[in-house]
Chains A and B, each alone.
Chain A
Amino acid sequence: MKAFRRSNLPVWATLAVFVLAVTAASLRYEHFFSFDVFLNLLRDNAFLGLAAIGVTFVILSGGIDLSVGAMIGFVGVFCATLMNAGVPGWAAIALAVALGTLVGLGMGSLVAFFDLPPFLVTLAGMFLLRGMALVISMEALRIDDPLFQALGHSKWVAPGLLLAVLLLGVYLANFRPFGRAVYAVGGNEQSALLMGLPVRRTKVLVYALSGFCSSLGGVVFAFYTLSGNANSGMTLELDAIAAAVIGGTLLTGGVGHLFGTLLGVLILGTIQTVISFEGTLSSWWTRIAVGLLLLAFIGLQKLFQAGRSETP
């Protein structure tokens, strides 16, 4: 029980940093501490959050998914093209999410059945998705579909979807055998196999789940921008991985929590909001700040690990 609490320490640290950041920002800017700003924070970063939830599952299982950014670009172009061809909005969403899940399933199968390195398989997936998006359309496409317009203008849809998927994710990760298998495979694949856990099935499902989450993220991004652009979501896979690491997930797998990832996404979002509130700071300070924050959290994790290795 003690070990369980200790493994959650980084999440508490992330929460503390988030509260600290919001408090500091609220003291500095009059209108920062309001429900609207918080809701906007969730809405502006919902697509990143959705992708990051999937990526966290993959990282927990000891893998990595580099394809989520390209998935966001692909899903936007795919939906826009379908709707321009007369397909109703709900069908376009369903098809996009189904296809995204299928692509994830394919990548997972390659990783699980042929023992290919996840880094390279999902890199190929990234090239494939980005490439297919460009093949469909090199130019940005407008989305006029009434369903997308309505959902896109709503304040509640994107945050609601994010929180719903998060809760579903937490249920899967912490209260289902599937989640225990994910943590076990990430902790030590050999042991998981010897314990009789379905290692291959777990791996395949984890990538499929990531495909599902990131394609849903792409749909939300399409709501948000009301357009499909093959180049959107560039380097988003990095932000997703960074959010997971800031949230206390270890890239070696087996340790981490989905709530931490949400906090990581919120911290990234807060940095961006603060820099836009400040006005005089240029956008590139965001990247530098994220880099420094990553460094700080890595240092923190290192301290926890050092504490743990004494009592294995």
Chain B
Amino acid sequence: MRRSLHPTVWAFLAWLLLLAVNLAFTPGFFSVEVRDGRFYGSLIDVLNHSSPVLLAALGMTLVIATKGVDLSVGSVVAISGAVAALMVTKGQAPLPTVVAVSVGVGLALGLWNGLLVSVFGIQPMVATLVLMVSGRGIAQLLTDGQIITFQDPGLASVAGGSLLGLPNPVVVAACGLAVVAALARWTAFGTMVEAVGDNERAAHLAGVPTRWVKLGAYAVCGVGSAIAGLIVCSYTKAADANNAGLYLELDAILAVVAGGTAMTGGRFTLVGTVVGALILQTLTTTILTKGVPVQWTLVVKAVAVLAVCLLQSDQFRRTVLARRLAA
């Protein structure tokens, strides 16, 4: 009997393969320049543009580990962007206030999802569907159906500025990762999340406060999505209630699962989620730098999703790959 490799290893190998393809066929993919005290290059781009997905995916990892799912990520992104844009255009609010309010809104929306799931016991997919459907309506209500553009230097610097040579989104995502990792690995929270996902009833009987754990996971996801929303609206200096973060929840779920956290709950890996988010963005950046027409992006993504799913499926490896090797 051969022990099968951890799914994250497969994800990491897939990412290395992707990088190797670029090393061979994309000249200059790995070159990093320093201009005005800032790093530039394809790799930095990958890190920069994977930040929103990663921020949403960190919380999603916890939610999926509790055997749940949060479909409202994209709507929270739209609402948080709309709130931030309104605050700087209508109220000239300073950046710290804008960030605090947006994150507060994200926290409230996350708690709402968590409340429906943990206290009222509604299936996660349905509970978060409510906010997914109505969230964009609320964002449009806030912006009166308009795309709100802004010039505020503070909010623009969220995505445009840099710290220690790295684009701000990368720094924010790294901090997010550190906070969630600390929460998950240095406190009992992470273990409790896994316990709830493995067997909720057993966890409850063992004294795990299952309701609070689930509430916490959805709250983290809401906050992460709100920060992602700030970055997304800062990239374009505009809040578009219709399109901001559209299908971002699907990308986030994809990053989590590609990274090796199973949708059936239980054990989770934050490192895997980072690798998953990097795979998605490396793929997109590769397609763009290779000059492949943009319309092929989705097709390539579809193939990549299937490939990752199949590689992680024991069933597939046993039947198809084993037969190939035996022959």
A114 & B137 in contact (Cβ 8 Å cutoff): no
Question: In the complex where A284-B137, A287-B134 touch, is A119 in contact with B263 (Cβ < 8 A)?
Answer: yes
Of A121, A135, A251, the contact of B125 (CB 8 Å cutoff): A251
Of B132, B141, B253, B316, the contact of A114 (CB 8 Å cutoff): B316
Of B137, B296, B300, B310, the contact of A116 (CB 8 Å cutoff): B310
Q: What is the bound-complex CA distance between A124 and B258, given in angstroms? A: 12
Q: Which residues of B contact A286 (CB under 8 A)?
A: 137
Q: Which residues of A contact B296 (CB under 8 A)?
A: 131, 135
Q: Which residues of A contact B263 (CB under 8 A)?
A: 117, 119-120
Q: What is the bound-complex CA distance between A114 and B314, given in angstroms? A: 8
Q: Which residues of A contact B122 (CB under 8 A)?
A: 298, 302
B297 & A245 in contact (Cβ 8 Å cutoff): no
Number of interface residues of A (CB under 8 A): 47
Interface residues of A in 85-137 (CB under 8 A from B): 110, 113-117, 119-121, 123-128, 130-132, 134-135
B interface secondary structure, majority: helix
Question: In the complex where A116-B313, A288-B141 touch, is A298 in contact with B298 (Cβ < 8 A)?
Answer: no
Question: In the complex where A120-B257, A127-B299, A131-B298 touch, is A287 in contact with B136 (Cβ < 8 A)?
Answer: yes
Question: In the complex where A113-B315, A286-B137, A292-B134 touch, is A121 in contact with B306 (Cβ < 8 A)?
Answer: yes
Interface range, B side: 35 or more
Q: Does B130 contact A (CB under 8 A)?
A: yes
B57-83: CB near A (< 8 Å → 1, else 0) gives 000000000000100000000000000
Q: Which residues of B contact A128 (CB under 8 A)?
A: 298-299, 302-303
- By beta carbon, the residue of chain B nearest A131 is B298
Q: What is the bound-complex CA distance between A298 and B44, given in angstroms? A: 45
Minimum distance in angstroms from B116 CB to a CB of chain A: 8
Q: Does A290 contact B (CB under 8 A)?
A: yes
A245 & B126 in contact (Cβ 8 Å cutoff): yes
B141 & A284 in contact (Cβ 8 Å cutoff): yes
Q: Does B23 contact A (CB under 8 A)?
A: no
Question: In the complex where A131-B295, A284-B145, A290-B133 touch, is A121 in contact with B138 (Cβ < 8 A)?
Answer: no
Interface residues of A in 267-306 (CB under 8 A from B): 282-288, 290-292, 294-295, 298-299, 302
Q: What is the bound-complex CA distance between A299 and B116, given in angstroms? A: 10
Q: Which residues of B contact A125 (CB under 8 A)?
A: 302
B130-156: CB near A (< 8 Å → 1, else 0) gives 111111111011001100000000000
Q: Does A242 contact B (CB under 8 A)?
A: yes
Q: What is the bound-complex CA distance between A115 and B315, given in angstroms? A: 7
B116-129: CB near A (< 8 Å → 1, else 0) gives 10001111011101
- By beta carbon, the residue of chain A nearest B71 is A238
A135 & B299 in contact (Cβ 8 Å cutoff): yes
Of A123, A283, A292, the contact of B305 (CB 8 Å cutoff): A123
Question: In the complex where A124-B306, A285-B137 touch, is A131 in contact with B123 (Cβ < 8 A)?
Answer: no
Minimum distance in angstroms from B133 CB to a CB of chain A: 5
Minimum distance in angstroms from B267 CB to a CB of chain A: 16
Q: Does A83 contact B (CB under 8 A)?
A: no
Minimum distance in angstroms from B141 CB to a CB of chain A: 6
Q: Which residues of A contact B204 (CB under 8 A)?
A: none
A298 & B126 in contact (Cβ 8 Å cutoff): yes
Q: Does A138 contact B (CB under 8 A)?
A: yes
Q: What is the bound-complex CA distance between A125 and B298, given in angstroms? A: 10
Interface residues of B in 102-124 (CB under 8 A from A): 116, 120-123
Q: Does A252 contact B (CB under 8 A)?
A: yes
B313 & A238 in contact (Cβ 8 Å cutoff): no
Q: Does A68 contact B (CB under 8 A)?
A: no
Minimum distance in angstroms from A62 CB to a CB of chain B: 12
Q: Which residues of B contact A291 (CB under 8 A)?
A: 130-131, 133-135, 137
Residues of A within 8 A of B (CB): 64, 66, 110, 113-117, 119-121, 123-128, 130-132, 134-135, 138, 234-235, 238, 241-242, 245, 250-252, 282-288, 290-292, 294-295, 298-299, 302
8 additional A-B pairs beyond A123-B253, A131-B296, A252-B123, beta carbons within 8 Å, are: A114-B309, A123-B250, A128-B303, A131-B298, A245-B126, A251-B125, A284-B136, A298-B122
Query: Could you write out 9 A-B pairs with CB less than 8 Å apart?
Result: A66-B250, A116-B310, A123-B250, A126-B302, A127-B298, A127-B302, A134-B298, A135-B295, A286-B137
Q: In the A-B complex, list the 4 residue pairs whose CB atoms are closest, starting with the nearest.
A: A291-B134, A131-B298, A287-B137, A131-B299
